[in-house]
Amino acid sequence: MITPGIGVKPYPACRQAHRAIDAMLHLVHMYHLQPDDVREITCHISARMRDFLVHHQPQTGLAGKFSMEYCLAAALLHGKVGLAQFSDASVQDPRAQTLMQRVRLTHPDQDKINWDTPIPDVVEVVLHSGERRHQRIEVPKGDPDQPLTWAELVAKFQDCAATVLPAGQIEKATQHITQLEELPTLRPLMASLTLPERDFHWTGIG
């Protein structure tokens, strides 16, 4: 056995935002939260994360990956955080821009940052009704101590594959991967992962 094991990022964003994303998605699905329900989101996170999550009102997908405000807004707005949530258009969505302004970051270890013992992330949501919901996450999903389920791994693969492969091939590839140890050859799998040949027109000088 390999120790500590293999980590897999479930979300295409800065890893330092993943615990808070886990917490936000838990609250969204547990309490069926909608953006219009939420007055304020407070994220308690280590002050050292300011060196990684440097964008507070991003305008591009790349900047959104390094914005705690956007990651939490996207989780609330879409109920998931995948590749589609990090397009420029998704980040510039007026609804996302509005939600980001409701996110407040606090740093409980502001006066004494301990790099050896990271503090848990806590996300607290205040509803317009005055009710509060909170969730604490110490170990993010995808960590060797909190591995993704098979269903979550499949969902990540399909989310990534959808950017380059037709739906039918993705389904075939998923089936082949599920039965990988029983396949007599890898040819069916490789075929399902390969785009059909296309005509290319050389326009360079040669």
Domain ranges for the chain:
15-137, 150-192
38-44 and 103-106 beta bridge pairing: parallel
pLDDT digits (tens, 9 = 90+) for 151-197: 999 999 999 999 999 999 999 999 999 998 999 999 999 999 998 76
Report yes or no: 133 and 28 within 8 Å, Cβ to Cβ: no
- Confidence tier at 115 by pLDDT (50, 70, 90): low
Which of these, 48, 46, 53, lies nearest to 17 by C-alpha position? 53
pLDDT digits (tens, 9 = 90+) for 48-86: 999 999 999 999 999 999 999 999 999 999 999 999 999
**What is the pTM (predicted TM-score) of this model?**
0.88
Q: Where are the alpha helices (DSSP H) in the chain?
A: 18-31, 61-64, 68-78, 88-92, 94-100, 150-161, 167-178, 187-192
**How would CATH label the architecture of 15-137?**
2-Layer Sandwich (3.30)
